[in-house]
Amino acid sequence: MTILLYLIPTALTLGGLALAGFLWALKSGQFDDLDGAAQRILFDDPADTPPKR
């Protein structure tokens, strides 16, 4: 059963990483504008590339 000593911390670390990721995303404002985010993907042209065509 010593495998548990590796498996449990691994499971907890992975879960913890996901939690930390979610909390970070929440904090950095990625859930502030869900309507906008859904539409934003439809537009290309990042801001720093001047239009050349």
Task: Tally the residues of the chain.
Answer: 53
Is 16 a residue that touches other proteins (CB under 8 A)?
Answer: yes
Determine, following the binding rule CB under 8 A, whether residue 12 of this chain makes contact with other proteins: yes
CA distances in angstroms from 28 to 2, 21, 24, 25, 33, listed in the order given: 40, 10, 6, 5, 12
Site pattern 27..46 for other proteins (x: CB under 8 A):
----xxxxxx-xxx-xxxx-
Q: Which is nearer to other proteins, 6 or 45 (CB)?
A: 45
Q: Amino acid letter at 21?
A: G
Q: Is 11 in the site for other proteins (CB under 8 A)?
A: yes
